[in-house]
Structure 1
Amino acid sequence: MNKIVLLGTLALAAFSTLAQAGEDTLRIGIEAAYPPFGFKTTEGNISGFDYDIGNALCAEMKIKCEWVEQEFDGLIPSLKVRKVDAVLSSMSITEDRLKSVDFSKKYYHTPGKLAMKAGSVINDPLVDLKGKKVGVQRASTYDRYATDRFESAGIEVVRYASQNEAFLDLAAGRLDATLADIINIDEGFIKTPTGKGFALVGPDFSDPNYFGKGAGIAFRKGDSANVARFNAAIDAIRANGKYQQVQAKYFAFDIYGE
């Protein structure tokens, strides 16, 4: 009888351990077509600043990250239907998004910018871009800004599933400009062979009503436990130097912002 009790106790302990392991696996949604934040290597593996920061955060919290790749405009819907537990994909913390998801504190903050042919001069985008075609990534903060501000000024807005598609159309002459994150434009386009002859132009786009106050990690509404532990992990990796180690792989400056 004692052996039966012992076996039962061991089985229960094993089940509890497996259940705890399951609880410590977090499915994180990411778009892998947004270099240098998220991209695929030549071997087909996900890489980038977002990916490395996410792994550093999970290591700090001693949990397993399971990355789920998909297009940007499907990330929040996947979060809501529980296909993923979090979204770590350069998603800006905005008032509009806060209506449907909760966010961690920011883990970086950069402005938006226009990319056009080198030599283009843009002083007032609402005036100087009138009659031109500007590409944006669908469902991004840049899409929302362009919809509200550009279209009413007579600027044609063309939407794409990924920012890379907008870059290709800009290089092919099917767009006059694209509006996106300054780092994504510089690293993912201008510094590549495809972006030869193009440059960052015009003013920074940083209106917090549209672009928020930095990129954060999105969670389902009410998931205060994950928000709290990710906030603590962000503070920890910035304090212990792991954030700076990841940052140095991709940038020569502090991307965290003010």
Structure 2
Amino acid sequence: MIKPFLAIGLLLGVLNTTTAVLPQVIKIGSDTSYAPYEWLDVDGTAKGFEVELTDAMCQHLGVKCVFVATDFDGLIPSLQSEKVDMLVSALAMTEKRQRQIAFSDKIFAVAPRLIAPKGADLQPTADSLRGKNVGVEQGTTQESYANAVWRNQGVNVIAYQNQHLVYEDLVAGRLDASLQDQVAGEEGFLKQEKGKDFAFTGPAINDTKYFGVGTGFGFRKGDDELREAFNQALIAIRADGTYQAIAAKYFDFDIYGG
């Protein structure tokens, strides 16, 4: 039998884990060149699927979120140096990144895929891409994969500071293909006017060694209260349908995955 004062103490302990004192302003590092997840509007305002999700979570938590545009390969350093408080940038939860930072629960899950000019018969294999120029964004899991699996097999892997530059060189004919998240490639390029002469080629790449088991928000190791607060906020917005309503604005399939 649990004594009354002990039961009250246990209850207060549970409440304390879910009502942590959070900063009133949370600075969020994000690569805003990766539509539909994050992009900058003409007025410099961050927009996108993850931006709306984060705003909904911050509203649930009663805090203000401020997005700080950061090149992808600078995200983890900016978090570790405390320039930002967390990362929201379609971050795949890979083993390598988990050694550097802590992750939230899964936010969504998608796989990467090649884009090439329409009619190009290219597959996401070293044999098919040997001698070809393939663009990737610096610091991404796509870059890690291409360097590890393709580069030493004769594929010219070219890294760019952001995704916009990858697409620019693809359109200009300086690249034979680009490798990026499938949804970002479709929504941020193929469905746009600049991508009208391009298409996916070959199947999606599913390799958990390089691409992990989904994406999450990034936190400094030890910032457990902030991380758990966003985990609880994610549970809340999925339970009340907010997550699904936001996702339906951007996707016609279940972005969360199984």
Q: Same fold (TM over 0.5)?
A: yes
Cα deviation for residue 79 of structure 1 reads 0.4
Counterpart of 1:12 in structure 2 is none
SS in 1 for 2:202: strand
SS at match of 1:202: coil
Corresponding letter in the other structure for 1:122:
L
Name 2:45's counterpart in structure 1: 45
Offset at residue 153 of structure 1 (A): 1.2
Aligned to 1:163: 163
Listed as ranges, the gaps of 5+ residues in structure 2 are 1-19
Alignment partner, residue 103 of structure 1 = 103
What is the CA distance between 1:43 and its match in structure 2? 2.5
The aligned counterpart of 1:67 is: 67
SS at match of 1:180: strand
4+ residue segments displaced more than 3 Å: none
**In structure 2, do the counterparts of structure 1 residues 123 and 38 end up closer, same or farther at CA, with 3 Å as the change threshold?**
closer
Which residue of structure 1 lines up, in the alignment, with residue 137 of structure 2? 137
Unpaired stretches in structure 1, ≥5 consecutive residues: 1-19
| Structure 1 contact 114–180 (Cα < 8 Å) conserved | yes
Distance in structure 1 (CA, Å) of the matches to 2:202 and 2:117: 12
Query: Alpha-carbon deviation of 1:135?
Result: 0.3
Cα-to-partner distance string for 1:149-187 (whole Å, 9 max, x where unaligned): 010111000000111110110011000000000011111
Percent identity between the two aligned chains: 40
Larger radius of gyration: 1
Q: Which residue of 1 aligns with 2:27?
A: 27
Q: TM-score, normalised by structure 1?
A: 0.89
User: Match of 1:89, SS?
Assistant: strand
* Distance in 2 (alpha carbons) for counterparts of 1:141 and 1:124: 15
Shift in Å, 1:52: 0.7
> For 1:106 and 1:22, how far apart are their aligned partners in 2?
21
> Secondary structure at 1:205's aligned position in 2?
coil
2:188 and 2:91 map into 1 onto residues whose CA distance is 17
Is 2:225 the counterpart of 1:225? yes
Number of equivalent positions? 239
Letter in 2 for 1:95: E
SS of the residue 2:204 aligns to? strand
